[in-house]
A = this chain, B = another copy of it.
Amino acid sequence: MNSDSASLPQVAAALPASAPARFRAVRQQTEALCRPLLPEDTVVQPVIDVSPPKWHLAHTTWFFETFLLREYLPGYAVYHPDYAFLFNSYYNSLGSRVNRADRGTLSRPPLADVYAYRAFVDAQMEQLLALQDTLPAAFQEVFELGLQHEQQHQELLVTDIKYILSTSPLAPAYQPAPPTPPPSAAPAARWLPVPGGVYRIGFQEEGFCFDNELEAHDTYVADFELQNRLVTNAEYLEFMEAGGYRDFRYWLGEGWDLVQQQGWEAPLYWVLHEGSWHRFSHHGLVAVNLAAPVTHISFYEADAYAHWRGCRLPTEQEWEIAARHFGATPAAGTFLESGLYDPQPLSPTAPASQCHQLLGDAWEWTYSAYHPYPGYQRAAGALGEYNGKFMLNQLVLRGGSCATPASHIRLTYRNFFHADKRWQYTGIRLAR
Protein backbone atom coordinates (compact mmCIF):
# COMPACT_ATOMS: atom_id res chain seq x y z
CA MET A 1 0.00 0.00 0.00
CA ASN A 2 1.54 3.22 -1.11
CA SER A 3 -0.20 5.23 1.61
CA ASP A 4 2.74 4.08 3.68
CA SER A 5 5.31 4.68 1.00
CA ALA A 6 7.91 7.39 1.21
CA SER A 7 7.04 8.86 -2.14
CA LEU A 8 3.50 9.74 -1.18
CA PRO A 9 3.13 11.87 1.95
CA GLN A 10 0.44 11.09 4.45
CA VAL A 11 -2.95 12.51 3.53
CA ALA A 12 -5.98 12.86 5.73
CA ALA A 13 -7.73 10.21 3.72
CA ALA A 14 -5.11 7.57 4.38
CA LEU A 15 -6.40 4.18 5.40
CA PRO A 16 -5.82 2.73 8.89
CA ALA A 17 -2.87 0.44 9.35
CA SER A 18 -4.39 -2.78 10.68
CA ALA A 19 -5.86 -5.18 8.14
CA PRO A 20 -9.30 -5.54 9.76
CA ALA A 21 -9.60 -1.80 10.22
CA ARG A 22 -8.58 -1.15 6.64
CA PHE A 23 -10.99 -3.78 5.41
CA ARG A 24 -13.84 -2.17 7.35
CA ALA A 25 -12.90 1.32 6.17
CA VAL A 26 -12.92 0.34 2.51
CA ARG A 27 -16.12 -1.67 2.75
CA GLN A 28 -17.92 1.12 4.59
CA GLN A 29 -16.76 3.72 2.11
CA THR A 30 -18.47 1.75 -0.67
CA GLU A 31 -21.72 1.56 1.22
CA ALA A 32 -21.54 5.21 2.18
CA LEU A 33 -21.39 6.09 -1.52
CA CYS A 34 -24.60 4.14 -2.14
CA ARG A 35 -26.51 5.54 0.81
CA PRO A 36 -28.15 8.43 -1.05
CA LEU A 37 -29.51 6.04 -3.70
CA LEU A 38 -33.01 4.61 -3.96
CA PRO A 39 -33.37 0.89 -4.69
CA GLU A 40 -34.50 1.83 -8.18
CA ASP A 41 -31.21 3.65 -8.85
CA THR A 42 -29.18 0.56 -8.06
CA VAL A 43 -30.67 -1.61 -10.83
CA VAL A 44 -30.34 0.19 -14.13
CA GLN A 45 -27.59 0.08 -16.77
CA PRO A 46 -28.30 2.90 -19.21
CA VAL A 47 -25.26 2.08 -21.37
CA ILE A 48 -23.01 -0.94 -21.37
CA ASP A 49 -20.14 0.86 -19.63
CA VAL A 50 -22.26 1.86 -16.65
CA SER A 51 -22.96 -1.02 -14.28
CA PRO A 52 -25.83 -0.98 -11.78
CA PRO A 53 -24.66 0.06 -8.28
CA LYS A 54 -26.26 -3.12 -6.95
CA TRP A 55 -23.90 -5.05 -9.17
CA HIS A 56 -20.85 -3.12 -7.93
CA LEU A 57 -21.87 -3.83 -4.33
CA ALA A 58 -22.18 -7.53 -5.04
CA HIS A 59 -19.25 -7.97 -7.41
CA THR A 60 -16.71 -6.51 -4.98
CA THR A 61 -18.07 -8.87 -2.36
CA TRP A 62 -17.90 -11.83 -4.72
CA PHE A 63 -14.22 -10.98 -5.21
CA PHE A 64 -13.44 -11.46 -1.51
CA GLU A 65 -15.61 -14.56 -1.34
CA THR A 66 -14.07 -16.17 -4.41
CA PHE A 67 -10.42 -15.34 -4.01
CA LEU A 68 -10.11 -15.36 -0.22
CA LEU A 69 -12.93 -17.08 1.68
CA ARG A 70 -13.18 -20.03 -0.66
CA GLU A 71 -9.42 -20.38 -0.76
CA TYR A 72 -8.40 -19.77 2.82
CA LEU A 73 -11.30 -20.05 5.28
CA PRO A 74 -11.64 -23.66 6.39
CA GLY A 75 -15.13 -25.02 5.84
CA TYR A 76 -16.41 -21.95 4.04
CA ALA A 77 -19.59 -22.64 2.02
CA VAL A 78 -20.61 -20.20 -0.69
CA TYR A 79 -23.37 -17.84 0.31
CA HIS A 80 -25.55 -18.62 -2.72
CA PRO A 81 -24.80 -21.06 -5.56
CA ASP A 82 -26.00 -18.63 -8.28
CA TYR A 83 -24.08 -15.58 -7.17
CA ALA A 84 -20.90 -16.56 -8.96
CA PHE A 85 -22.83 -16.60 -12.24
CA LEU A 86 -24.47 -13.27 -11.40
CA PHE A 87 -21.49 -11.33 -10.11
CA ASN A 88 -18.42 -12.58 -11.95
CA SER A 89 -17.30 -9.69 -14.16
CA TYR A 90 -15.00 -11.09 -16.82
CA TYR A 91 -13.04 -14.06 -15.49
CA ASN A 92 -13.18 -16.87 -18.03
CA SER A 93 -11.26 -18.97 -15.54
CA LEU A 94 -14.25 -18.83 -13.23
CA GLY A 95 -16.91 -20.00 -15.61
CA SER A 96 -19.92 -18.58 -17.40
CA ARG A 97 -21.58 -15.37 -16.28
CA VAL A 98 -24.29 -12.85 -17.08
CA ASN A 99 -23.53 -10.96 -20.28
CA ARG A 100 -22.10 -7.59 -19.41
CA ALA A 101 -24.81 -5.86 -21.44
CA ASP A 102 -27.52 -7.63 -19.43
CA ARG A 103 -26.55 -6.50 -15.96
CA GLY A 104 -29.34 -3.93 -15.99
CA THR A 105 -32.06 -6.46 -16.71
CA LEU A 106 -31.76 -8.23 -13.38
CA SER A 107 -34.09 -6.94 -10.67
CA ARG A 108 -33.21 -9.87 -8.41
CA PRO A 109 -31.55 -10.38 -6.01
CA PRO A 110 -32.86 -7.10 -4.65
CA LEU A 111 -30.68 -4.49 -2.96
CA ALA A 112 -31.50 -5.72 0.53
CA ASP A 113 -30.25 -9.20 -0.35
CA VAL A 114 -27.05 -7.74 -1.71
CA TYR A 115 -26.48 -5.89 1.54
CA ALA A 116 -27.13 -9.14 3.42
CA TYR A 117 -24.55 -10.81 1.19
CA ARG A 118 -22.07 -8.06 2.03
CA ALA A 119 -22.73 -8.39 5.75
CA PHE A 120 -22.29 -12.15 5.60
CA VAL A 121 -19.02 -11.95 3.69
CA ASP A 122 -17.76 -9.15 5.91
CA ALA A 123 -18.36 -11.23 9.01
CA GLN A 124 -16.59 -14.20 7.47
CA MET A 125 -13.72 -11.99 6.42
CA GLU A 126 -13.33 -10.79 9.98
CA GLN A 127 -12.93 -14.42 11.00
CA LEU A 128 -10.43 -15.00 8.26
CA LEU A 129 -8.44 -11.88 9.12
CA ALA A 130 -8.22 -13.12 12.69
CA LEU A 131 -6.23 -16.03 11.24
CA GLN A 132 -4.02 -13.96 9.02
CA ASP A 133 -0.79 -14.71 10.79
CA THR A 134 -1.24 -18.36 9.86
CA LEU A 135 -1.87 -17.68 6.19
CA PRO A 136 0.65 -17.76 3.35
CA ALA A 137 2.09 -14.62 1.77
CA ALA A 138 -0.23 -15.07 -1.19
CA PHE A 139 -3.14 -14.32 1.09
CA GLN A 140 -1.80 -10.87 1.90
CA GLU A 141 -1.27 -10.09 -1.75
CA VAL A 142 -4.75 -11.04 -2.79
CA PHE A 143 -6.27 -9.36 0.27
CA GLU A 144 -4.53 -6.15 -0.71
CA LEU A 145 -5.70 -6.61 -4.29
CA GLY A 146 -9.27 -7.04 -3.03
CA LEU A 147 -9.12 -3.70 -1.24
CA GLN A 148 -7.62 -1.93 -4.23
CA HIS A 149 -10.19 -3.58 -6.47
CA GLU A 150 -13.01 -2.29 -4.30
CA GLN A 151 -11.50 1.19 -4.41
CA GLN A 152 -11.53 1.02 -8.20
CA HIS A 153 -15.22 0.21 -8.01
CA GLN A 154 -15.75 3.17 -5.66
CA GLU A 155 -14.57 5.43 -8.45
CA LEU A 156 -16.84 3.64 -10.88
CA LEU A 157 -19.75 4.03 -8.48
CA VAL A 158 -19.24 7.80 -8.46
CA THR A 159 -19.19 8.00 -12.24
CA ASP A 160 -21.89 5.40 -12.86
CA ILE A 161 -24.28 7.01 -10.39
CA LYS A 162 -23.72 10.33 -12.13
CA TYR A 163 -24.56 8.79 -15.50
CA ILE A 164 -27.60 6.95 -14.17
CA LEU A 165 -29.13 10.03 -12.63
CA SER A 166 -28.30 12.11 -15.69
CA THR A 167 -30.55 10.05 -17.97
CA SER A 168 -33.66 11.37 -16.31
CA PRO A 169 -35.06 14.67 -17.55
CA LEU A 170 -35.78 15.38 -13.89
CA ALA A 171 -32.04 16.00 -13.32
CA PRO A 172 -32.17 14.57 -9.81
CA ALA A 173 -29.45 15.55 -7.34
CA TYR A 174 -27.37 12.88 -5.63
CA GLN A 175 -26.60 15.34 -2.84
CA PRO A 176 -27.22 19.01 -2.15
CA ALA A 177 -24.89 21.48 -3.79
CA PRO A 178 -22.10 22.97 -1.66
CA PRO A 179 -22.12 26.74 -1.25
CA THR A 180 -21.06 28.38 -4.50
CA PRO A 181 -17.62 29.96 -4.23
CA PRO A 182 -17.21 33.51 -5.58
CA PRO A 183 -16.38 33.37 -9.29
CA SER A 184 -12.70 33.58 -10.07
CA ALA A 185 -10.56 33.04 -13.14
CA ALA A 186 -7.89 30.38 -13.18
CA PRO A 187 -4.34 31.71 -13.31
CA ALA A 188 -2.82 31.71 -16.78
CA ALA A 189 -1.17 28.42 -17.74
CA ARG A 190 2.58 28.37 -17.87
CA TRP A 191 4.98 26.02 -19.66
CA LEU A 192 7.44 24.15 -17.45
CA PRO A 193 10.50 22.49 -19.02
CA VAL A 194 11.66 18.97 -18.22
CA PRO A 195 15.13 17.94 -19.36
CA GLY A 196 15.47 14.89 -21.60
CA GLY A 197 17.48 11.80 -20.79
CA VAL A 198 17.19 8.21 -19.69
CA TYR A 199 14.76 7.84 -16.78
CA ARG A 200 13.54 4.90 -14.82
CA ILE A 201 9.76 4.56 -14.76
CA GLY A 202 7.32 2.04 -13.31
CA PHE A 203 6.80 1.07 -9.69
CA GLN A 204 9.99 1.08 -7.66
CA GLU A 205 8.71 1.76 -4.15
CA GLU A 206 7.64 -0.48 -1.30
CA GLY A 207 4.09 -1.68 -1.00
CA PHE A 208 1.30 -2.47 -3.38
CA CYS A 209 1.09 -1.84 -7.08
CA PHE A 210 -0.81 -3.44 -9.91
CA ASP A 211 1.05 -5.83 -12.16
CA ASN A 212 0.72 -3.39 -15.07
CA GLU A 213 3.10 -0.96 -13.31
CA LEU A 214 5.89 -3.52 -13.56
CA GLU A 215 8.65 -4.02 -14.40
CA ALA A 216 10.30 -0.74 -13.60
CA HIS A 217 12.47 0.01 -16.61
CA ASP A 218 14.56 2.70 -18.27
CA THR A 219 13.15 4.87 -20.98
CA TYR A 220 14.53 7.78 -22.96
CA VAL A 221 12.70 11.02 -23.55
CA ALA A 222 13.86 14.18 -25.28
CA ASP A 223 13.48 17.62 -23.67
CA PHE A 224 9.83 18.57 -23.36
CA GLU A 225 7.55 21.07 -21.69
CA LEU A 226 4.31 20.56 -19.81
CA GLN A 227 1.65 23.06 -18.81
CA ASN A 228 1.56 23.73 -15.11
CA ARG A 229 -2.17 23.07 -14.76
CA LEU A 230 -5.08 21.29 -16.40
CA VAL A 231 -6.98 22.86 -19.30
CA THR A 232 -9.99 24.81 -17.98
CA ASN A 233 -13.58 24.93 -19.13
CA ALA A 234 -12.97 28.52 -20.26
CA GLU A 235 -10.15 27.40 -22.51
CA TYR A 236 -12.14 24.48 -23.86
CA LEU A 237 -15.06 26.78 -24.59
CA GLU A 238 -12.76 28.80 -26.83
CA PHE A 239 -12.17 25.66 -28.86
CA MET A 240 -15.91 25.05 -29.10
CA GLU A 241 -16.63 28.63 -30.10
CA ALA A 242 -13.86 28.57 -32.69
CA GLY A 243 -15.73 25.72 -34.43
CA GLY A 244 -13.50 22.95 -33.15
CA TYR A 245 -16.30 20.38 -33.37
CA ARG A 246 -16.99 21.28 -37.00
CA ASP A 247 -13.50 21.17 -38.51
CA PHE A 248 -12.19 17.70 -39.39
CA ARG A 249 -8.61 18.92 -39.63
CA TYR A 250 -8.10 18.76 -35.87
CA TRP A 251 -9.42 15.24 -35.46
CA LEU A 252 -8.26 11.69 -35.77
CA GLY A 253 -10.32 9.86 -38.40
CA GLU A 254 -12.20 7.69 -35.94
CA GLY A 255 -12.88 10.70 -33.75
CA TRP A 256 -14.31 12.70 -36.62
CA ASP A 257 -16.63 9.83 -37.51
CA LEU A 258 -17.87 9.79 -33.91
CA VAL A 259 -18.43 13.53 -33.84
CA GLN A 260 -20.64 13.13 -36.90
CA GLN A 261 -22.52 10.05 -35.73
CA GLN A 262 -23.10 11.17 -32.17
CA GLY A 263 -23.58 14.83 -32.88
CA TRP A 264 -21.00 15.80 -30.25
CA GLU A 265 -20.61 19.51 -29.79
CA ALA A 266 -19.58 19.81 -26.14
CA PRO A 267 -18.30 17.60 -23.32
CA LEU A 268 -20.62 14.96 -21.95
CA TYR A 269 -23.21 16.36 -19.53
CA TRP A 270 -23.08 19.87 -20.98
CA VAL A 271 -26.40 21.38 -22.08
CA LEU A 272 -27.31 24.82 -23.22
CA HIS A 273 -29.86 26.07 -20.70
CA GLU A 274 -31.42 29.45 -21.26
CA GLY A 275 -28.52 30.45 -23.45
CA SER A 276 -25.65 29.51 -21.20
CA TRP A 277 -23.71 26.29 -20.72
CA HIS A 278 -24.75 24.15 -17.82
CA ARG A 279 -23.72 20.67 -16.89
CA PHE A 280 -25.34 17.79 -15.08
CA SER A 281 -23.56 17.13 -11.78
CA HIS A 282 -24.05 15.26 -8.53
CA HIS A 283 -26.06 18.33 -7.48
CA GLY A 284 -28.35 18.32 -10.52
CA LEU A 285 -28.00 20.86 -13.28
CA VAL A 286 -25.53 23.66 -12.48
CA ALA A 287 -23.76 26.39 -14.42
CA VAL A 288 -20.39 25.47 -15.89
CA ASN A 289 -17.58 26.90 -13.74
CA LEU A 290 -15.23 28.41 -16.29
CA ALA A 291 -12.23 28.30 -13.96
CA ALA A 292 -12.52 24.57 -13.29
CA PRO A 293 -10.72 21.90 -15.31
CA VAL A 294 -12.63 20.53 -18.25
CA THR A 295 -13.67 16.89 -17.80
CA HIS A 296 -15.89 14.24 -19.38
CA ILE A 297 -14.18 14.43 -22.72
CA SER A 298 -12.99 11.59 -24.90
CA PHE A 299 -9.39 11.11 -25.97
CA TYR A 300 -10.49 12.27 -29.41
CA GLU A 301 -11.63 15.59 -27.98
CA ALA A 302 -8.50 15.96 -25.86
CA ASP A 303 -6.31 15.31 -28.90
CA ALA A 304 -8.32 17.62 -31.17
CA TYR A 305 -8.14 20.38 -28.56
CA ALA A 306 -4.36 19.98 -28.31
CA HIS A 307 -4.05 20.06 -32.11
CA TRP A 308 -6.09 23.20 -32.31
CA ARG A 309 -3.79 24.84 -29.75
CA GLY A 310 -0.76 23.75 -31.75
CA CYS A 311 0.31 21.48 -28.91
CA ARG A 312 0.00 17.81 -28.14
CA LEU A 313 -0.83 15.43 -25.30
CA PRO A 314 2.05 14.00 -23.23
CA THR A 315 3.09 10.36 -23.39
CA GLU A 316 2.72 8.34 -20.22
CA GLN A 317 6.50 8.26 -19.90
CA GLU A 318 6.70 12.03 -20.06
CA TRP A 319 3.88 12.35 -17.56
CA GLU A 320 5.52 10.06 -15.01
CA ILE A 321 8.94 11.60 -15.46
CA ALA A 322 7.47 15.08 -14.98
CA ALA A 323 5.43 14.02 -11.97
CA ARG A 324 8.58 12.77 -10.27
CA HIS A 325 10.54 15.78 -11.45
CA PHE A 326 8.02 18.19 -9.96
CA GLY A 327 7.49 16.14 -6.81
CA ALA A 328 3.78 15.65 -7.33
CA THR A 329 1.86 14.65 -4.21
CA PRO A 330 -1.78 13.95 -3.57
CA ALA A 331 -1.83 16.52 -0.79
CA ALA A 332 -3.21 19.34 -2.90
CA GLY A 333 -5.50 17.34 -5.15
CA THR A 334 -9.22 16.79 -5.05
CA PHE A 335 -10.10 13.15 -4.36
CA LEU A 336 -13.09 11.01 -3.53
CA GLU A 337 -12.86 11.76 0.17
CA SER A 338 -13.54 15.44 -0.43
CA GLY A 339 -17.10 14.49 -1.29
CA LEU A 340 -17.06 17.16 -4.00
CA TYR A 341 -17.22 14.90 -7.05
CA ASP A 342 -16.00 17.76 -9.22
CA PRO A 343 -12.46 18.88 -10.08
CA GLN A 344 -11.67 22.19 -8.46
CA PRO A 345 -10.28 25.38 -9.99
CA LEU A 346 -6.67 26.16 -9.32
CA SER A 347 -6.29 28.90 -6.76
CA PRO A 348 -5.39 32.27 -8.31
CA THR A 349 -2.52 32.42 -5.88
CA ALA A 350 -1.00 29.07 -6.79
CA PRO A 351 2.74 29.47 -7.49
CA ALA A 352 3.30 29.66 -11.25
CA SER A 353 6.58 27.80 -11.10
CA GLN A 354 5.04 24.65 -9.69
CA CYS A 355 3.20 21.96 -11.60
CA HIS A 356 -0.34 21.65 -10.23
CA GLN A 357 -3.18 19.16 -10.34
CA LEU A 358 -0.97 16.24 -11.35
CA LEU A 359 -2.63 13.99 -8.79
CA GLY A 360 -6.36 14.17 -8.28
CA ASP A 361 -9.03 16.36 -9.94
CA ALA A 362 -9.02 14.74 -13.40
CA TRP A 363 -7.47 11.76 -15.14
CA GLU A 364 -5.13 13.02 -17.82
CA TRP A 365 -5.32 11.43 -21.25
CA THR A 366 -1.88 10.47 -22.55
CA TYR A 367 -1.02 9.61 -26.14
CA SER A 368 0.28 6.23 -25.00
CA ALA A 369 -1.27 2.89 -25.78
CA TYR A 370 -2.01 0.65 -22.81
CA HIS A 371 0.55 -2.01 -23.63
CA PRO A 372 2.62 -4.26 -21.36
CA TYR A 373 5.79 -2.82 -19.88
CA PRO A 374 9.02 -4.65 -20.75
CA GLY A 375 9.20 -7.83 -18.71
CA TYR A 376 5.50 -7.77 -17.83
CA GLN A 377 4.17 -11.16 -16.75
CA ARG A 378 0.52 -12.07 -16.30
CA ALA A 379 -0.15 -13.71 -12.95
CA ALA A 380 -1.05 -17.40 -12.94
CA GLY A 381 -4.66 -18.41 -12.44
CA ALA A 382 -7.78 -16.28 -12.59
CA LEU A 383 -6.04 -13.12 -11.39
CA GLY A 384 -3.94 -13.27 -14.53
CA GLU A 385 -7.06 -11.97 -16.25
CA TYR A 386 -7.10 -8.84 -14.06
CA ASN A 387 -5.13 -6.53 -16.34
CA GLY A 388 -3.16 -8.25 -19.04
CA LYS A 389 -5.93 -9.25 -21.39
CA PHE A 390 -7.02 -5.63 -21.86
CA MET A 391 -3.66 -4.43 -23.16
CA LEU A 392 -4.73 -3.36 -26.63
CA ASN A 393 -6.64 -0.51 -28.22
CA GLN A 394 -6.91 1.49 -25.01
CA LEU A 395 -5.05 4.58 -23.87
CA VAL A 396 -3.28 5.23 -20.60
CA LEU A 397 -4.59 7.92 -18.26
CA ARG A 398 -2.58 9.21 -15.38
CA GLY A 399 -2.98 10.98 -12.06
CA GLY A 400 -6.35 10.03 -10.62
CA SER A 401 -9.43 12.20 -10.31
CA CYS A 402 -11.87 13.73 -7.87
CA ALA A 403 -13.56 10.31 -7.77
CA THR A 404 -10.41 8.35 -6.92
CA PRO A 405 -9.71 7.46 -3.29
CA ALA A 406 -6.64 9.40 -2.21
CA SER A 407 -5.08 6.25 -0.75
CA HIS A 408 -5.47 4.51 -4.09
CA ILE A 409 -3.41 6.72 -6.37
CA ARG A 410 0.30 6.55 -7.20
CA LEU A 411 2.66 8.32 -9.58
CA THR A 412 3.05 5.05 -11.42
CA TYR A 413 -0.66 4.22 -11.60
CA ARG A 414 -1.83 3.31 -15.11
CA ASN A 415 -5.53 3.73 -15.73
CA PHE A 416 -6.86 2.84 -19.19
CA PHE A 417 -9.94 3.46 -21.28
CA HIS A 418 -10.98 3.32 -24.90
CA ALA A 419 -10.55 6.57 -26.75
CA ASP A 420 -14.29 7.25 -27.04
CA LYS A 421 -15.17 7.04 -23.34
CA ARG A 422 -16.45 10.19 -21.68
CA TRP A 423 -18.18 9.17 -18.48
CA GLN A 424 -15.04 9.22 -16.32
CA TYR A 425 -13.49 12.43 -15.00
CA THR A 426 -11.10 12.74 -17.92
CA GLY A 427 -9.24 15.95 -18.65
CA ILE A 428 -6.36 17.49 -20.57
CA ARG A 429 -2.83 18.58 -19.78
CA LEU A 430 -0.92 20.01 -22.73
CA ALA A 431 2.61 19.12 -23.70
CA ARG A 432 4.95 20.28 -26.44
Contacts and interface: CB of A to CB of B under 8 A. Distances in A.
Contacts of A107: 38, 40-44, 164-165, 168
Contacts of A85: 169
Interface string A95-114: 00000001011111111000
A61 to B, nearest CB: 16
B218 A108 contact: no
B371 A82 contact: no
A76 interface: no
A274 to B, nearest CB: 15
A354 interface: no
How many copies of this chain does the complex contain?
4
A390 interface: yes
A372 interface: yes
A313 to B, nearest CB: 10
A272 interface: no
Interface of A is mostly: mixed
A392 B40 contact: no
Given A54-B40, A369-B371, A393-B393, A108 B222 contact: no
A398 to B, nearest CB: 16
A86 interface: yes
B39 A105 contact: no
Please classify how large the interface on chain A is, using the bins under 10, 10 to 19, 20 to 34, 35 or more. 35 or more
A97 to B, nearest CB: 11
B170 A108 contact: yes
A349 interface: no
Contacts of A82: 169-170
24 contacts: A38-B110, A40-B107, A40-B111, A41-B110, A43-B43, A44-B105, A44-B107, A45-B105, A46-B102, A82-B170, A92-B256, A102-B167, A107-B164, A108-B165, A108-B170, A108-B172, A198-B220, A219-B220, A252-B390, A253-B390, A254-B392, A299-B392, A369-B371, A392-B419
